[in-house]
Amino acid sequence: MDRTHERPAFRINGFLMLFIILPAIAILAIWAAANIVDTKTFTDGSVGFDSSEVSGGAIAIVIVAGLFLLIALGGFTVLQPNEAQVLVFFGRYVGTVRLPGFHWVNPFAKAQSKRVSLRMTNFDSAKVKVNDKNGNPVEIAAVVVWRVTDTATAVFDVQNYHEYVRVQSETAVRHLATSYPYDSQDPETLSLSGTVDEVSRALQSELADRLLTAGVEVIEARLSHLAYASEIAAVMLRRQQASAVVAARQQMVAGAVGMVELALDELDRGNKVHLDADQKARLVSNLLVVLTSEQSATPIVNAEG
């Protein structure tokens, strides 16, 4: 499909045209008074209008010129900052006025024009329930900051660009949720809750591609809500807690083994202490119990006496 691209429209400074049209109206009025309104003094001394002296050509000139000036007055338009006016001349796009201020444009094009806001707009998507990559139902929503960059594309290539942004944003959020798991114990695996920045960048990139056809630029896109669906929230919370405990235990065991190996190496270095296999086994067992226990170890001193 061929896209309609924005181009600048013909315009004239509004104050300049005002200083042209107003004197033209005054000149036309004076000329009409001199050539159409012909007063005559009658025999009884009264003054009146003599219609017999009126020229049909003069009346036609006044009507045509007056109509032209009246139509020209309809070409004035005022634009606020970050506002554009898309001009259409009998069904044909003729350009866009972006410069804020007082302008004069083609009156017939202005009559069919459409104003478009160029300001940044926030869109807060509705919370949608969708399955994540692992099949777990989650509730997810996002905030999208966008603005129109190509007014012609936004007005003519989509039916309603506001509705288009809404639908495409919710579609992208659904697709995002199915592409990543809710969480992951693997730090190398991207997840919705664990790698928010990376996921937000992926959402922004996908939205930028989707909304390009509507002349819309995505400034920012971030998740505003993320949670397990209510029917599995309690179960998944226990699962998260269990996974966290297992991961913590694995880390503790790995650290304890490393500390035991270090202790044995230090003891062997320089032949400071000589331990046989049974003594090393008891030492390793005691160290692992002390290092992996959730409670502080209580030493027992054997006293012989």
48 & 79 share domain: yes
Beta strands in 68-196 (DSSP E): 76-79, 83-89, 92-97, 101-104, 114-117, 121-124, 128-131, 137-148
51 & 108 share domain: yes
Contacts of 277 (CB under 8 A, 6+ apart): none
Q: Is residue 300 part of a domain?
A: no
**Which 3-state string (H, E, C) describes 215-270?**
CEEEEEEEEEEEEECCCCHHHHHHHHHHHHHHHHHHHHHHHHHHHHHHHHHHHHHH
Give the helix ranges, DSSP H, for 36-87: 56-73
- For Cα atoms 43, 45, 48, give the angle at the middle one, nearest 5 degrees: 90
pLDDT of res. 1: 58
Residue whose tokens read 């478009």: 116
Least confident of 42-46, 167-171, 183-187, 241-245: 42-46
Q: How far is residue 14's CA from residue 255's CA, in Å, rounded to a whole number?
A: 78
92 & 176 share domain: no
Within a 10 A sphere around the Cβ of 151, how many other Cβ atoms?
Answer: 27
The per-residue pLDDT for range 57-102, each reduced to its tens digit, is: 777 777 888 888 888 888 899 999 999 999 999 989 999 999 999 9
Using DSSP, state whether 145 is helix, strand or coil: strand
What does pLDDT average to over the chain?
81
Q: Is residue 25 part of a domain?
A: yes
> What is the residue type of 281?
A
51 & 111 share domain: yes
Q: How far is residue 116's CA from residue 196's CA, in Å, rounded to a whole number?
A: 33
Q: What is the pTM of this model?
A: 0.69
Q: Is residue 215 part of a domain?
A: yes
218 & 268 share domain: no
The per-residue pLDDT for range 125-135, each reduced to its tens digit, is: 888 888 888 88
How many separate domains does the chain show? 3
* Cα torsion angle, 264, 267, 269, 275, sign: negative
Residue numbers of the domain that contains 61: 12-116
Which is more confidently placed, 69 or 116?
116
208 & 249 share domain: no
> What is the residue type of 104?
W
Q: Which helix (H) or strand (E) holds 213?
A: none
